[in-house]
Structure 1
Amino acid sequence: MARHYSETEVVAILEDLDPARLHSFIAAHVVTPVVTPDGPAFTDADVARLQLLCDLSEVYDLPDDALAMVMSLIDQLNTARGDMRALIQAVASEPDEVRGRIQKSVHRLRIVTTGRG
C-alpha cells in the first residue's frame, strides 16, 4: 500500500515548503492531493514533485503559471520516455529481420528529417 502524507507532514518534510506555498501549488494545479478519509494527502511522487517545484520556484524565481508550464513539459517528457522504453522492449522482442527493417527505416527517416545519417 502506498504511503500517504498529510499537508502537515509534507510541510515538515520539505524545508522550503510552507502551507501557503503548498496551497498555491495546489491552486495552480501543479500538484493534486489524493482524497483520503483523513483529508487531502500526498504520495511519495507528490513529495518529490513538490521538492522540484520548490527548487524551480526558488532557483529560477518562476511564477505559478510558468511552473505549471514547466511541469507540464516535464510530465510530457516523462511520458515520452516511458513510451520509448516500451517501444524499445517491443522491438527487442521481434525477430532479427524485423529489427533490421526497423533500424533501416529509422535511419532513412533520420536522414530525411535532419539531413544527416
Structure 2
Amino acid sequence: MARHFSETEVIATLEGLDPARLHAFVAAHVVSPVVTPQGHAFSEADLARLQLLCDLSEVYDLPDDSLAMVMSLIDQLNTARGDMRALIQAVATEPDEVRGRIQKTVRRLRVVTLSRDD
C-alpha cells in the first residue's frame, strides 16, 4: 500500500512550502490530495508535484493560474510519453515486415511535416 503524508509532514519535508502555499496549491487544483477524517493526505507523487510547484513559483514567480497551466502541460507530456512507450513496445512485437513498413511511413510523415513547417 502506498504511503500517505499528512499536511504537517508535507510542510516539514518540502523546502519553501508553508501552510498557506499548500492550501493555495490545493485550492488551485494543481495537486489533488486524498481527503481523510484527519485532513488531506498526500502521496509520494503529490510530494514530487508540490516540490516542482514550489520550485516553479519561486524561480519564475508564476501565479496560481499559470502554475495550473504549466502542470497541465507537464501532465499531458507525461501521458504522451507513456503512450509513446506503449506504442514502441507494441510495434516491437510485430514482424520485421510490419516494423519496416511502419518505419518507412513514419519517415515519410516526418518529411511531410517538416516541409509544412518551412
TM-score range for the pair, normalised by the shorter chain length: over 0.9
Superposed, 1:1-117 pairs within 5 Å as 1-115=1-115
Q: State how far apart, in whole Å, the 1-side matches of 2:86 and 2:39 are.
A: 36
Q: Secondary structure at the match of 1:16?
A: coil
What letter is aligned with 2:75? D
What displacement does 1:69 show?
A: 0.4
1:64-103 CA-to-partner distances (Å, cap 9, x unmatched) read 0000000000000000000000000000011000000000
Q: State how far apart, in whole Å, the 2-side matches of 1:15 and 1:108 are.
A: 48
Q: State how far apart, in whole Å, the 1-side matches of 2:22 and 2:93 are.
A: 44
Q: State how far apart, in whole Å, the 2-side matches of 1:87 and 1:11 are.
A: 39
Equivalent pairs: percent with the same residue? 84
Unaligned runs of 5+ in 2: none
What displacement does 1:15 show?
A: 1.8
Relative to structure 2, which stretch is displaced further, 30-39 or 98-107? Answer: 30-39
Q: State how far apart, in whole Å, the 1-side matches of 2:85 and 2:69 are.
A: 24
1:15-56 CA-to-partner distances (Å, cap 9, x unmatched) read 210000000000110001112343310000000000000000
Unaligned runs of 5+ in 1: none
Q: State how far apart, in whole Å, the 1-side matches of 2:28 and 2:60 are.
A: 17
Runs of 4+ in 1 over 6 A off after TM superposition: none
Q: State how far apart, in whole Å, the 1-side matches of 2:68 and 2:7 are.
A: 20
Q: Figure out how many residues of one structure are paired with residues of the other and give that number.
A: 116
Please report the RMSD computed on the Cα atoms of aligned residues, expressed in angstroms.
1.2
Q: Secondary structure at the match of 1:115?
A: helix
